[in-house]
Amino acid sequence: MPHGLSPGGVSRRDWFRATAATAAATSAATAATPGQRAGKPALQVATNCEMCFWRCGALAKIQDGRVARIEGNPQHPLTLGRLCARGNAGHQTLYDPDRLKRPQLRTGARGEGRFQEVSWDQALDWFAARLTELKNKYGPESVAYLPHGASSGFFGTVMKAFGTPNSAEPAFAQCRGPREVGYALTFGRGVASPEPLDLANARAVVLIGSHIGENVFTSQVTQFSEGLARGAKLIVVDPRFSTAAAKADHWLPIRPGTDIALLLAWINVILSEELEDKEYLAKYAQGLDDLRAHVKPFTPEWASAETELPAGLIRDSARMMAAAKPAVVVHPGRHVTWYGDDTQRSRAMAILTALLGAWGRQGGILLPTTIKRGSFKTPPFPESKRGRADGAGTTYPLASEELGVSNGLIEATLTAKPYPIKGWVVYGQNVLESIPQRERTLSAIRLLDLLVVVDILPVEQTLYADLILPEATYLERYDAPHIVETAARPFISVRQPAVPPMYDSRPGWWIAKAMAARLGLEAWLPWKNPDEHLAKLIEPMGISLGELKARGAVAFEGRPTIEQRIEADGPLFPTESGKIELSSKLLKEIGHDAIPVYRPPADPPPGWFRLLYGRAPVHSFARTENNALLNGLMSENTVWMNDHSARDLGLAAGQRIVLQNADGNESLPISVQPTAAIRKDCVYMVHGFGQQAPGLHKANARGASDNALISRVAIDPIMGSTGMRVNFVRVKPEVQS
Amino acid sequence: MSSATQVQPPLRDLSQRMIKKHHVAIILLHWFNAITWLIELTTGAALISSEHFRFVPVWFVTMITEVSGTRANLLRFHIAAGLTWITVFAVYAIFGWQTYFHQEVLEREVALDKDDFNWLRIRVLRILGRSNEPLPPQGIYNAGQKMFALMVYVMIPVIMGTGLVMAFHWGPMTLVGWAVVLHFAAVAVVVSGLMVHVYMGAVFPEEKPAFFSMLTGMVPEEFAYKHHHKWWKEVKMLEELHAAGLAEPRPVPRPSRLAAALRMKEHWPGYWAGFGLGLTLLATFLIVGQGLGASGGFTRYLAFVLSLVAPGYASAHPYWSNYVQPGQPVLMDFLVFELIGVALGGVVSGWLAGHLKWTTDKGPRISPRTRWALAFLGGAISGAGARLARGCTSGLALSGGSVLSAGAFVFMLSVFAAGFIGAYFLRRIWL
Amino acid sequence: MTALFPLSLSTGAFVFAAIALGFFFGFFLERAGFSSSLKLTAQFYFKDWGVLKVMFSAIVVACLGLAWLSLAGIVDFSQIYVPDAYLWPQLAGGLLLGAGFILGGYCPGTAVVAGAIGKLDALFFLGGIFAGIFGFGLVEPSIHSFNVSGALGPLTLPQWLNISHGVGAFALAVIALGAFWAAENSEGKWQLFRKTYGREQ
Amino acid sequence: MARYAMVTDLTKCVGCQACTAACNSEWDVPPGHARTHVRPTGAVGKFPDLRSAFYVAQCNHCDDPPCVKPCPSGATFQADNGIVKVDRNLCIGCGFCVQACPYEARYLNPATQKVDKCDFCASRLERGRQPACVTTCTAHAKYFGDLEDSSGDIYRMVYTRGARRIESGEVKVGPNVYYLGRRGEPQLVAAMFPPRLPKLPAAGEWWSKVVKPLALALVGATFAGQAVAFFTQLRKGEGQFDE
């Protein structure tokens, strides 16, 4: 509008506008990038996501001091700017009104939920005093550490320095432990996380129970889809017609628990039809003859009876994957603690991978490339004379001493053997949902002198805690960087705060430093701030701190295939024999089968179903159900039941039922989802719902918890993991009034 | 028929006398209402652009949309005017509750009696030339007016209610959907009544006094006698009672203070006018971002004429090209439109105060012709001076002074200096 | 928070606002009696202080209002048009306008109002304005260098005096109050001028 | 002028709802609503011969958008580049368009009480960015671009790879969201989620079919009556009233 224009000159208004625009442009160039909404300049911080453990590259966009939006970081070498639903919703956890806001000391009975807010000084002084008491009375080993997540490592250092070797994450015995052990027994190294699967280049993908799509790790989905788009064949073994099964060339709706039979039959077909990668095996493997002899009887016809799959389908699928060798990904799975024979099943999968020549090959499973890291000089951790209490290395000979056996710690707490466990520090995990046999966990908690919970939300276990410490969310804190060696291009990605911590929450590193100071353990955390820690860590990497923090992630050259390996990368197969061990001497030595042996599972009695569980793409475990956005996408789970079974039971879609297991445990009410997409002998539900935490206003008592129905477990004797798919449930008969 | 009982006073006398019919508040409300209806009907009709529901030609919708800038503005304007309307009615309702809403008033103004029904029948027949029956006597409002009032009393709450539902989204989607339809239907009903109302008021000769009564509040007694006989009798009866000392004299209605100020023949005290002027100036700064002015507008008008008469000259001229640029509307300037308003405001103020008259202000010692010549000369000097200073007493001194512009104060100083000095030498003109 | 004012208006609203604001401008000018050249020129003969009172009370109201609203963050003062100062041409222009004022009896704005209520002299004055502006347009190129001399940009008095705008506005108000007081106490009492112009008294 | 279109490769899509979450976050969509949603077809067929796919639904920015006409105020309109937009400042929330959309792409935002829907992230396009759902799609299954750009991905997918629209025999309004799929996913989706017939809600039906004609008739009749009166008056002259 030309009003206000004086002849021959620019009006003051226009002049001001022009200068304002210049000022904005200047600031944009230095500190901000073009904005989010309404053209306002928005600051963005590159970090990585912690809505699950995959830690995708994220850009937090800040407006008016708040994280307004999170988008993928295109500079992240693995996730390439893509984020799943949870990643997009991260700020809703940051702004969850239910968050733990201040340290709280319990004033009522355990489970009663009465607390008193205290200052951090009071809280940590109290915490340190209790730890010292326990140390003096029972020894430092009497304190167990149950951590999860990127920020828990700092406090882990404090616990080790304090003198306890007892640390256990559910990541091992409730998740990927059997896989790590099974693959390490075969190839000399485990699969590790994130799994270095070359899905984008695979010409055949074999999923055994893996439900990619329902289970979303961003880059894994991207590569899986790319592979499919390029024409990769897909074989899916699942009692359920999963998202992946719908895309499969062969869907094998297997009888639950008979996977080893199928795997042995596949191996039988490959070896008997001479479809294996002969050159590869001759060069790198030992024990092929033993294997050939072992699988001889396990024909597809034999397996058909066990697995309830047509022999032809077994044969065709074996031929399909063999035709694609060596570019075949036999997905090693992730949560593989199913039936107690899980290490052996993983072994069978590893052997199949080896026969196809896919380990260390493009389109198969890639090899890690070491990234050199700098470190501070710190004193060695004190050695415990009494050893670990969880059975790692003793009761469970091949269990990881790094990750630990959480159910072993609970056992030790309950039995006080080999020595009493009197204190737990639970950090970032939800032991009542992540570890099966809730009742045993609760019994163990009742025996404790000290339970400290560090968390973000008032999950159920906080009701039992003596002290609750509110941690800052991942968007408010620095964490140890994510250093990933198991990728085609290894990389480092940083976690840095987008906004300062809300309420009276504190980042994990601060809590660790503050506790170390109180316990006199500063020597083990010799850095002043996270920047100093990070700078030391990346010293040998040849990158600058500023660049890393600005870009969020920096990638390095990788040598992921056998052909690319150099001497500095160490032995190809760091097994005892230096070769792929198709037959394991070590397993034989410790009294187990050198080659996997199939043992038939028990079938559910009539009227009962095997309880299967899995994931939804919009939720992570039991962590995100209270997130406003994600809760809006999925606020409760349903129980999938074969439509014929449902009809026989007279159940209609959406009808709310209560499930009951063989021990009489009951679920919360849950809606029935009759579907053709599941076998008649099992039911399925998404894990993470049915929480009983009144402080979680959106998640409390929504849907049913599978964990509440998992009162029985099958312990893997090799490494102690808890097989959880051994519970049978039925629909609780209605009580007529 | 009650004509047999009619008193027959000499009509000539009656035509001379005026009796009061409408209170000034009612008059103001009436015209406010009329303007609001005009605005709301125009914007409302243009708002309905859907092919399914539109009832005015597309060009009308386009035109009104363009005048508003955007359709969103059109809606905002419609809502703002509607809310103003509701607010004003609410104020009247609150303060006039007892005056307007008791049974007696409603009976008088809305309820129809037997005479009214006959009146309606005969009125229509007479207009159609099918009857010569005399019209039955009517109260202060005739049956047609009563019917219209009834219609309006019913429909206005519907219009307001549905309008509020739409404007503030009171209720679910379905309710808002129905509100749109009801709003439209109620308006249609009122509009059909309004057509009769406007016709009767503005075109129909017989009711002309009624139209003027909506301006002055008064009707000739003759009109009251003929058209609102029942009411005339009431008035007469009261007057006779007063005359006989049987009733309190009717209080002489006093105009409100505002009305008095508006109609004051004398000039306002300087501070009143200055305060009003200051508020106007402030509002101008707030709304437009610049101040009031005058000479800049004249310059634009002149430039416009130049651009029509000699576009080449104007756009190439070093001075006029500041105003005349190809493709740029010369008249698109605040002061251009503001000056139209200034003239309007002057007329209205002058009309209210009774200043409207062709006259010439001059000193006693000069002839009008001399005065005109001097005025032209003075105007020319002022015009040139204003351009040199980039503003006149309004644009530079007043508006610039308000933002404490340095140039404005320099200018003011020299204006007053020249004025006072010139006054001495030119005292023959004025004294 | 961004300031609410000044508004950015669409064309239609802008035109409407301009006419409405002009209406009130004209209305108050007429009410003040500025539609009469006799009333206006009486100021210069010290017989009627209306021009000073009206003008300064308007300036003070608008000035204090703007200052207060911009302090309150309601109006963005940087977006308000402040006329550019051109020292010499404005000084000269003021002299010309003052001379034209006392000669013609009006200034441009008041002439519009006066013309609107039927003052014939005002209509002549209006005609003169157009002639004067046209004439100025003719000679401007030859006096252009003078016309742009002494350019100071959109300078305000407080900026020039290096004081805050609010203080400047307040000072102006105080000065105006003083002037009003003087005017109220002196109307018709100025001996010198009564002698000079006294015949009409 | 561009003609924007989106293609979703249903063979790649895993139904993870990252698109929905990104969109909800980008546009502050309240929980329980969405501008783009992922609807599973569920398992179709007889065990174990089953099929299923995800219908990634959003506004189709149709060539002949059935939502534009029913909008009383013109808040819903189609821009030159084909994007169907809702002017929030003009929407009164009557919901006529919500029922008119064959793809159920519109919803009434309970926070603003205005109708909201996908606009292909028009404001992001202006900043040279792709829509939020496209950039975040974990399966890299969504593509966005100009259908008139013959060198672009979208052109190739639609005109040479045979990406198809979700239409039915009755509803053909030229949607501009296309679907690819090697296993017949688009056909399955079209069969399971056929577009519904555009219709007006009862209020709209009444308005256009009953109230509007009646209102015009009433006003017209009054006008005619006035006209008769006026001409009668002219014929008789004004004097007669001074009887």
More confident: A605 or B62: A605
Q: What is the pLDDT of residue A577?
A: 94
pLDDT digits (tens, 9 = 90+) for A540-557: 999 999 999 999 999 999
A to C CB pairs, distance under 8 Å: 22
D68 lies in some domain = yes
Q: What is the pLDDT of residue C7?
A: 75
A53 lies in some domain = no
Same domain, yes or no: B374 and B279 = no
Give me the domain span that covers residue A143.
Answer: 116-170+383-472+504-542
Q: What is the pLDDT of residue A27?
A: 34
Same domain, yes or no: D75 and D177 = yes
Q: Which of A325, A494, A676, A11 is nearest to B291 (CA)?
A: A11
Q: Which of A352, A255, A342 is nearest to A295 (CA)?
A: A352
D227 lies in some domain = yes
A6 to chain B: which residues are within 8 Å by CB? 390
C-alpha D105, offset from chain centre:
6
CA–CA gap between residue A82 and residue A84 (Å, rounded): 7
| Model confidence at A22: pLDDT above 60 | no
Q: Is residue B318 within 8 angstroms of chain A, CB to CB? A: no
D124 in Cβ contact with D145 (< 8 Å): no
Same domain, yes or no: D147 and D208 = no
D155 in Cβ contact with D21 (< 8 Å): no
Six-digit token string for B29: 């409300």
Q: Which of A221, A33, A90 is nearest to D142 (CA)?
A: A221
Q: Which of A668, A680, A675 is nearest to A707 (CA)?
A: A668
A124 in Cβ contact with A514 (< 8 Å): yes
Q: Which CATH number does the domain housing residue D163 bear?
A: 3.30.70.20
pLDDT digits (tens, 9 = 90+) for A615-640: 999 999 999 999 999 999 999 999 99
Q: What is the pLDDT of residue B318?
A: 84
Same domain, yes or no: D181 and D207 = no
Q: What is the pLDDT of residue A18?
A: 35
A90 in Cβ contact with A72 (< 8 Å): no
Q: What is the pLDDT of residue C77?
A: 84
Residue keyed to tokens 């984020």: A83
Asked which of B319, B352, B385 is the last residue of a domain, the reply is: B352
Same domain, yes or no: D154 and D226 = no
Q: What is the pLDDT of residue C188?
A: 57
Q: What is the pLDDT of residue B287?
A: 87
Least confident piece of the model among B207-221, D170-184, D191-205 = B207-221
Q: Examine residue A605 and say whether the peptide bond preceding it is cis (omega within 30 degrees of 0).
A: no
Q: What is the pLDDT of residue B375?
A: 94
* CB-based contact A4 B290, cutoff 8 Å: yes
Q: Which CATH number does the domain housing residue B242 bear?
A: 1.20.950.20
State residue A57 phi and psi, 5-degree precision.
-70, 130
| Model confidence at A234: pLDDT above 50 | yes
Q: What is the pLDDT of residue C187?
A: 62
* CB-based contact D73 B47, cutoff 8 Å: yes
Same domain, yes or no: A534 and A577 = no
Q: What is the pLDDT of residue B13?
A: 59
Chains D and B physically touch (3 or more Cβ atom pairs below 8 Å): yes
Q: What is the pLDDT of residue A520?
A: 95
Q: Is residue C21 within 8 angstroms of chain A, CB to CB? A: no
pLDDT digits (tens, 9 = 90+) for B283-302: 999 888 889 999 999 999 99
Q: Which of A285, A363, A373, A326 is nearest to A572 (CA)?
A: A285
Mean pLDDT, residues A629-654 taken together: 95
CA–CA gap between residue A581 and residue B193 (Å, rounded): 99
Six-digit token string for A672: 């029935």
Residues of chain C with pLDDT under 50: 1, 199-201
C-alpha A104, offset from chain centre:
29
Partnered with residue A45 across adjacent β-strands are A60
Same domain, yes or no: B331 and B288 = yes
Touching subunits of C (3+ CB pairs, under 8 Å) are: A, B
Q: How many CB atoms lie within 10 A of CB C78?
A: 15
CA–CA gap between residue A214 and residue A247 (Å, rounded): 13
Of B179, B188, B193, the CB nearest to D215: B188
Q: What is the pLDDT of residue B259?
A: 67
B272 lies in some domain = yes
B2 lies in some domain = no
B232 lies in some domain = yes
pLDDT-derived band at B255 (thresholds 50, 70, 90) equals low
C-alpha B206, offset from chain centre:
25
A6 lies in some domain = yes
Same domain, yes or no: A268 and A396 = no
More confident: A203 or B147: A203
Same domain, yes or no: A356 and A389 = no
pLDDT-derived band at B197 (thresholds 50, 70, 90) equals confident
Same domain, yes or no: B348 and B364 = no
A429 lies in some domain = yes
Touching subunits of A (3+ CB pairs, under 8 Å) are: B, C, D
Sheet holding A553-555, edge to edge: A482-484, A491-493, A553-555
Q: Which CATH number does the domain housing residue A613 bear?
A: 2.40.40.20
Give me the domain span that covers residue D234.
Answer: 202-242
Q: Give chain A's mean pLDDT.
A: 91
Sheet holding D142-146, edge to edge: D142-146, D4-9, D177-180, D164-165
Of B288, B328, B390, the CB nearest to A2: B328
Q: What is the pLDDT of residue B256?
A: 56
Q: Is residue C116 within 8 angstroms of chain B, CB to CB? A: yes
CA–CA gap between residue B375 and residue B380 (Å, rounded): 8
pLDDT-derived band at A601 (thresholds 50, 70, 90) equals very high
CA–CA gap between residue D48 and residue A679 (Å, rounded): 9
Same domain, yes or no: B20 and B105 = yes
Same domain, yes or no: A240 and A362 = yes
Same domain, yes or no: D154 and D223 = no
Q: Where do the DSSP E strands lie in C48-197?
A: 85-86, 151-153
D27 in Cβ contact with A225 (< 8 Å): no
Based on DSSP, count helices (H) and strands (E) in chain D, helices before strands: 8, 12
B334 lies in some domain = yes
Residue keyed to tokens 């651009």: B307
C-alpha A18, offset from chain centre:
52
A7 to chain B: which residues are within 8 Å by CB? 319, 322-323, 390
Same domain, yes or no: B337 and B280 = yes
Q: What is the pLDDT of residue A395?
A: 92
D81 lies in some domain = yes
Same domain, yes or no: D24 and D89 = yes
Same domain, yes or no: A160 and A253 = no
Interior/surface letters A85-102, b for 16+ CB within 10 angstroms, e for the rest: bbbbbbbbbbbbebbbeb
Q: Is residue A37 within 8 angstroms of chain C, CB to CB? A: no
Same domain, yes or no: A347 and A416 = no
Q: Give ipTM to 2 decimals.
A: 0.70
Same domain, yes or no: D133 and D213 = no
Asked which of B253, B274, B306 is the last residue of a domain, the reply is: B253
Six-digit token string for B365: 């010692």
Residue of B nearest to A10 (CA): B322
Q: Taking the CA of residue A710 as centre, how many other CA atoms within 13 Å lie in the half-sphere pointing to its CB?
A: 30
Q: Is residue A16 within 8 angstroms of chain C, CB to CB? A: yes
Six-digit token string for A334: 């992730």
pLDDT digits (tens, 9 = 90+) for C9-32: 767 778 888 999 999 999 999 999
Domain count along chain A? 4
Q: Is residue D125 within 8 angstroms of chain A, CB to CB? A: no
| Model confidence at B215: pLDDT above 90 | no
Question: Please, where are the H alpha helices in B128-269?
Answer: 143-168, 173-198, 208-216, 221-227, 229-243, 257-263
Same domain, yes or no: A448 and A318 = no
C-alpha A719, offset from chain centre:
18
Give me the domain span that covers residue B274.
Answer: 260-352
Q: Taking the CA of residue B8 as centre, how many other CA atoms within 13 Å lie in the half-sphere pointing to its CB?
A: 3
| Model confidence at D239: pLDDT above 50 | no
Distances (CA, A) of B7 to A47, B10, B134, B226, D235: 98, 10, 15, 11, 32
A732 in Cβ contact with A657 (< 8 Å): yes
A61 in the Ramachandran plot: left (φ > 0), alpha (ψ -120 to 50) or beta? beta
Mean pLDDT, residues A383-391 taken together: 92
Same domain, yes or no: D137 and D181 = yes
* CB-based contact A6 C9, cutoff 8 Å: no
Q: Which CATH number does the domain housing residue A309 bear?
A: 3.40.228.10
Of A221, A246, A629, the CB nearest to D21: A629
D197 lies in some domain = no
pTM of the model: 0.74
Top residue of A3, A5, A12 to mutate, by most chain C CBs within 10 Å, is A12
Asked which of B329, B352, B375 is the last residue of a domain, the reply is: B352
Same domain, yes or no: A415 and A536 = yes
Same domain, yes or no: A722 and A654 = yes
Q: What is the pLDDT of residue A126?
A: 97
Domain count along chain B? 3
Q: What is the pLDDT of residue A610?
A: 97
Interior/surface letters A379-404, b for 16+ CB within 10 angstroms, e for the rest: eeeeebeebbbbbbeebbbbbbeebb
Q: Give chain B's mean pLDDT.
A: 83
Six-digit token string for A624: 């995100």
Domain count along chain D? 2
Q: What is the pLDDT of residue B137?
A: 82
D57 lies in some domain = yes
Q: What is the pLDDT of residue B313?
A: 84
B4 lies in some domain = no
Q: What is the pLDDT of residue A297?
A: 96
The set of residues, in sequence order, having a beta carbon less than 8 Å from that of B79 and lying 6+ positions away, is B163, B167
Same domain, yes or no: B329 and B363 = no
CA–CA gap between residue A20 and residue A24 (Å, rounded): 6
pLDDT digits (tens, 9 = 90+) for A89-101: 999 999 999 999 9
Same domain, yes or no: A121 and A161 = yes
A423 lies in some domain = yes
